[in-house]
Amino acid sequence: MSVDTRWLTSEQLATWVRLAAVLELLPATLDSQLRRDAELTHFDYYVLAMLSEAPEHTLRMTALAERTTATLARLSHVVQRLEGRGLLERFPCPEDRRATNARLTEAGWQKVQDSAPGHVAIVREKVIDALSPEQVTQLGEITGAILRRLDPDGDRAAIYQRYSPPGDS
């Protein structure tokens, strides 16, 4: 039997099964809170949140895609819908005529500020407050290690940067 077919030890397996369950349940939980309270998917929220932290509340599509860990195609569809709802607007980038900028509208900025507290509350409740401070540190290191495998070039590792409260200006 080749090395690729090694199975997992029972401890590794127990960990993996739990992780798989978290992968399934946590996004669903976040989505339904935001949908119910703000009519936003978790991904929609992240798009708005990343814009809210950017200078001028503006980012190029490519930069926004990196920060939200999404493909450009997906982002394009989502941005189109958010634009239709008046939460952001697109305009051609002056420096590079291939590029498109996305900018938060006033309504979009308001939406982020309104929905942030509820989102943060559920993240605390389901994740942060479930763990000891040491575990939070451990989880940070563990997810960092996994991300390096998932995304070795760190294209999407712009994400590792700071992230501050919208409205905190």
Which partner in DNA, a copy of itself, none is near 80 (CB below 5 to 8 A by kind)? DNA
Q: Three-state secondary structure along 96-165?
A: CCCCEEEEECHHHHHHHHHHHHHHHHHHHHHCHHHCCHHHHHHHHHHHHHHHHHHCCCCHHHHHHCCCCC
Q: Which long-range contacts (CB under 8 A, 24 or more apart) does 123-130 make?
A: 123/30, 126/26, 126/29, 127/26
Question: Cβ neighbours of residue 91 under 8 Å, at least 6 residues apart?
Answer: 100, 101, 103
Residue type, 98: R
Count interface residues toward DNA (CB under 7 A): 30
Comparing CB distances to DNA, the nearer of 71 and 137 is: 71
Comparing CB distances to DNA, the nearer of 134 and 153 is: 153
Q: Running DSSP on this structure, what letter comes out for residue 85?
A: T
Q: How far is the CB of 23 from DNA (least distance, A)?
A: 11
Q: Binder to DNA among 37, 53, 60, 118 (CB under 7 A)?
A: 60
Q: Should residue 150 be labelled a site residue for DNA when binding is judged by CB under 7 A? A: no
CA-CA distance, 90 to 111, in Å (whole number)?
A: 17
Q: Binder to DNA among 14, 72, 136, 150 (CB under 7 A)?
A: 72
Q: How far is the CB of 150 from DNA (least distance, A)?
A: 13
Contact positions vs a copy of itself (CB under 8 A)? 4-8, 10-27, 29, 46, 69-70, 117-118, 120-121, 123-128, 130-131, 135-151, 156, 159-160, 162-165, 168
Alpha carbon of residue 50 to chain centroid: 8
Which span (9-17, 96-104, 117-125, 145-153) binds DNA, by CB under 7 A?
Answer: 96-104
Residues that bind DNA (CB under 7 A): 28, 31-32, 35, 41, 43, 60-62, 65, 70-81, 90, 93, 96-101
